[in-house]
Amino acid sequence: MLTSRTFLKRTRAGAVVKVVREHYLREDIPCGAAACRLCPPRPAGAGRGLEAQPSGAASSLCPGPHYLLPDTNLLLHQIDILEDPVIKNVIVLQTVLQEVRNRSAPVYKRIRDVIQNPEKHFYSFTNEHHRETYIQQEQGESSNDRNDRAIRVAVKWYSEHLKKIEDEEKIQVIFLTNDRTNKEKALEEGITAYTCEEYIKSLIANPDLVDRLACVSDEGKEIESGKIIFPEHIPLSKLQQGIKSGVYLQGTYRASRDNYLEATVWVHGDAEENKEIIIQGLKHLNRAVHEDIVAVELLAKDEWVALSSVILQDDGQNEDDIENEEEKENILKTSVNKDMLRPTGKVVGIIKRNWRPFCGMLSKSQIKEARRHLFTPADRRIPRIRIETRQADTLEGQRIIVAIDGWPRNSRYPNGHFVKNLGSAGDKETETEVLLLEHDVPHQPFSQGVLSFLPKMPWSITEQDMKYREDLRHLCVCSVDPPGCTDIDDALHCREVENGNIEVGVHIADVSHFIRPGNALDEESAKRGTTVYLCEKRIDMVPELLSSNLCSLRSNVDRLAFSCIWEMNHKAEILKTRFTKSIINSKASLTYAEAQMRIDSTTMNDDITTSLRGLNKLAKILKKKRIDNGALTLSSPEVRFHMDSETHDPIDLQTKELKETNSMVEEFMLLANVSVAQKIYEEFPEFALLRKHPAPPPSNYDILVKAAKSKNLEIKTDSAKALAESLDKAESPEFPYLNTLLRILTTRCMMQAVYFCSGMDNDFHHYGLASPIYTHFTSPIRRYADIIVHRLLAVAIGADSTYPELTDKHKLADMCKNLNYRHKMAQYAQRASVAFHTQLFFKSKGIVNEDAYILFVRKNAVVVLIPKYGLEGTVFFEEKGKPTPRLDYNNEVPSLTVEDTTLHVFDKVKVNIMLDASNIQHQKIRMVLVEPKV
């Protein structure tokens, strides 16, 4: 049963209590080497372990077979190298893993993935629980030193242990560390140790790996001129003290998009004042990078500045040109209004770096044969990064990914290393890839593991599937969708029943039947969270077999569905609601236009058409009710590209047109969502997944109210109902487009709707729909939230069994967080995709003049909307190399006077649109005012 083991006490004297933990040391932990017969066999399913005959790159430093053993810092910094398929047979110690886990979650995740990969032969050795490799912290030894020693002890144990294996070829263990003192100590103890650079450079036939080597060299041996540019960062322990005592403030660093010498820090915490702190000047920015968590010290009040509206781009090629920078910093300080001054500070230390790999392009050094080049990220908030590469010629003009390794005090730019080449810039595939990467959209093809959970084809409905299902194949169900839609997730039916009432059914694809909780398919979908629709492609949340075939409610095939069936009277009042899993057979899949045509047609009187007419009639009543309740009808310009069928280049732009049938389908989807929300909340008050839309704070409406006032209209914003009514009244006979503009503005005032778990919140209200409770049920093919709601509802009606994660509100809350993040990112990616295609469109179209309306007025620009293309753009009045025109901004009546022309909100103007391709990374649409001429 239990082997008797040495028993040790590990005492950790904290500030308050003495904690005593038991620590059992074992003798049965395998060393992981395949040839080892001394160790007990490894448990099944724990990876493949180390190879008996280590394959992998041959090294000139150690020609014999060897295993590698990296230390913590090496693993943290050189994970890109370790992930390369060439590097195999690596021992990862538990000490190292624990340190990595505490210091960087992403790297921890990556190394875990590598250990899981059977091809890589990585083995994690639990040295802290092994009798011969566990060491105690000595008096006066720091925990870092103790860990370093533990690693060395483990290396020593390994080399002795492997010697005992009687094999012809002795396998060596090579300790990799970049820490000089650690390496010296190791060599003293008779351990073969190399730095990562030495080892990688010694690899025969893999010169390209050197490029990926992160350049974190020892501080002392910088090749750069010894000039220190930046002040030192204060160590973390002191920062924490300072934050507690209030000397420093902790916040998220946000670099300015337009000015590389300026940034703001969002201070965490409740204090209303000092929410945002301005940082200005290279020295004060002190090597912080966008999104880092930093500590800031406030400057004295007389040093406070205002945010400058100057646009400055970092284009210096010469890196040592510091004097130049000071000149530029002086530009910022001119013309400061006294009451515009805001808290200003300087970065004194970094609490947590938030570096990720960045997309961008190489700016090749002008010196021939140079190895060091600057990399310009696509995101302008990220500083340029210095990388070392020998393939600059091939990388020029390509989109590449680069990771930052560090930022020494004497370097103007951070150091980084090349990770991956995406393809040539401007290329549609490359740009899409960049867009997806920058928005963190998981878009890799589904792995074999995921696909293995798909049903086997040919698939048919079995007896088993029929068990909890109602057969609704006799009903006259049809679907209405946009043209070209292949993932049909909803279908409708409507019929009169004997008692004169109307039965309406909404049938939703039963995705949760195919995606079972907890398997790889489910995990992948949960991770993706949503399907992302780009202009020319769709990044599916579930594999295509499901999204376009088995789950898609196509016409004239039997499909599994989840149905929500109401009995209503002719006033569209719900008398009875019923949910059931079902089998349906859609009679027709129509487009919005086809459905509209059937409704309007006087000659057609078949089942489908009468059913559509019934639905349409009820939808109108439902809509009226909803609007009477105070639901908002908002407007946002949506565009659709007509694509060339072969080149997939956009050939025309068109704003989406809304038909009566769009709103008909929408109305029943809303109704189904509300009914389901009520049901699952009633059944599971603690862990129903719901969606809420918080009411915006009144100050959000300021801009709308002011803009309306300038047109002598009054917008009431005290409640959603008042807002909806005043928007309806806001009409101007000579200006029919005004109402749409007002609605677009209103949309901009709104908050973001979010998913949440009912047990973790108490405000459920959906402001935009004026519904006390709401969820998402109707699109399980493209939204993961709907799958969870389906599962909850299935449990509620007894059609499926529950599983542990479903009833854990903390897990559900975490999931909501991920879903909200994915939805936001998907939206941004969609917008970026539209922007990119707009550019392509105008590239082919050349320069055009179009009518536009002014949407917002800014201090030095106006934002205009071009209704024809649904395109929004900014018209600047300042230009490089030209004298700045006289600008006069009026905040009360939003207007801007340029020289002698005054521009108001909602003014109709004419603009000239063209593509500005002067910067290949940031091609953009440029607009110039044509009428009125300024």
Partner 1 sequence: MAAPELLSDEGYRADGRRPAELRKIRARMGVFAQADGSAYIEQGNTKALAVVYGPHEMRGSRSKALPDRALVNCQYSVATFGTGERRRRPRGDRQTGELALQLQQTFEAAILTQLHPRSQIDIYVQILQADGGNYCAGVNAATLAVMDAGIPMRDYVCACSAGLAEDTPLADLSSPEEAVGGPRLVLALLPASGQIALLQLSARLHQERLEAVLEAAGQACRALHAVLDRVVRERLREVTALLGD
Give strand pairing partners of 400: 360, 421
Taking the least distance from each CB to partner 1, the nearer of 116 and 309 is 116
CB of 741 to partner 1, least distance (A): 50
**Cβ 764 vs Cβ 674: under 8 Å:** no
Position of tokens 């009546």? 893
**Cβ 233 vs Cβ 348: under 8 Å:** yes
**What residue type is assigned to position 878 of the chain?**
E
CB of 898 to partner 1, least distance (A): 55
CB of 160 to partner 1, least distance (A): 22
Taking the least distance from each CB to partner 1, the nearer of 72 and 609 is 72
Taking the least distance from each CB to partner 1, the nearer of 69 and 773 is 69
Angle at 99 between CA 97 and CA 104, to 5 degrees: 90
Position of tokens 């409708």? 492
Burial class for 645, CB neighbours closer than 10 Å (0-12, 13-18, 19+):
exposed
Taking the least distance from each CB to partner 1, the nearer of 126 and 726 is 126
Taking the least distance from each CB to partner 1, the nearer of 5 and 910 is 5
Taking the least distance from each CB to partner 1, the nearer of 802 and 874 is 802
CB of 328 to partner 1, least distance (A): 41
d(CA 503, CA 183): 79
Taking the least distance from each CB to partner 1, the nearer of 97 and 361 is 97
Taking the least distance from each CB to partner 1, the nearer of 21 and 474 is 21
CB of 43 to partner 1, least distance (A): 7
3-state SS, residue 69: strand
Position of tokens 């912290």? 137
3-state SS, residue 346: strand
CA distances from residue 666 to 50, 586, 622, 769 in whole angstroms, order as listed: 58, 19, 11, 12
Taking the least distance from each CB to partner 1, the nearer of 119 and 763 is 119
CB of 102 to partner 1, least distance (A): 6
DSSP H or E run through 123: strand 122-125
418's CB contacts (< 8 A; 6+ apart) are: 211, 212, 387, 389, 391, 395, 400, 401, 402
Taking the least distance from each CB to partner 1, the nearer of 239 and 619 is 239
Residues lying near partner 1 in the complex (CB under 8 A): 1-2, 4-5, 7, 16-26, 43, 46, 94, 101-102, 105, 108, 112, 115, 124, 126, 128-129, 801-804, 807-808
d(CA 728, CA 734): 16
Give the closest residue to 636 by CA, choosing from 714, 715, 746.
746
**Residues, the chain, total?**
934
Taking the least distance from each CB to partner 1, the nearer of 5 and 283 is 5
CB of 8 to partner 1, least distance (A): 9
**Cβ 789 vs Cβ 775: under 8 Å:** yes
CB of 116 to partner 1, least distance (A): 8
Taking the least distance from each CB to partner 1, the nearer of 389 and 512 is 512
Taking the least distance from each CB to partner 1, the nearer of 4 and 602 is 4
Tokens at residue 300, please? 């004295």
CB of 26 to partner 1, least distance (A): 6
DSSP string, 347-385: EEEEEE-----EEEEEE--SSTT-SEEEEEESSTTSPPE
3-state SS, residue 12: strand
DSSP H or E run through 673: helix 660-683
CB of 290 to partner 1, least distance (A): 24
CB of 33 to partner 1, least distance (A): 16
d(CA 462, CA 456): 13
Position of tokens 């730019």? 413
Taking the least distance from each CB to partner 1, the nearer of 124 and 256 is 124
Taking the least distance from each CB to partner 1, the nearer of 23 and 554 is 23
d(CA 694, CA 711): 29
Taking the least distance from each CB to partner 1, the nearer of 759 and 885 is 759
CB of 236 to partner 1, least distance (A): 12
Number of Cβ atoms within 10 Å of the Cβ of 365: 16
Taking the least distance from each CB to partner 1, the nearer of 4 and 884 is 4
Tokens at residue 629, please? 């309740």
Burial code (b: 16+ CB inside 10 Å, e: under 16) for 877-903 equals: beeeeeeeeeeeeeeeebbbebeeeeb
CB of 25 to partner 1, least distance (A): 6
CB of 24 to partner 1, least distance (A): 4
CB of 825 to partner 1, least distance (A): 24
Phi-psi region of 369 (alpha: psi -120 to 50; beta: other; left: phi over 0): left
CA distances from residue 599 to 16, 477, 583, 595 in whole angstroms, order as listed: 77, 16, 26, 6
Burial code (b: 16+ CB inside 10 Å, e: under 16) for 473-493 equals: eebbbbbbbeeeeebbbbbbb
CB of 96 to partner 1, least distance (A): 13
CA torsion through residues 179, 184, 189, 192, sign: positive
d(CA 900, CA 934): 8
**What residue type is assigned to position 413 of the chain?**
Y
Taking the least distance from each CB to partner 1, the nearer of 32 and 768 is 32
**Cβ 767 vs Cβ 478: under 8 Å:** no
3-state SS, residue 775: coil
CB of 411 to partner 1, least distance (A): 30
CB of 804 to partner 1, least distance (A): 3
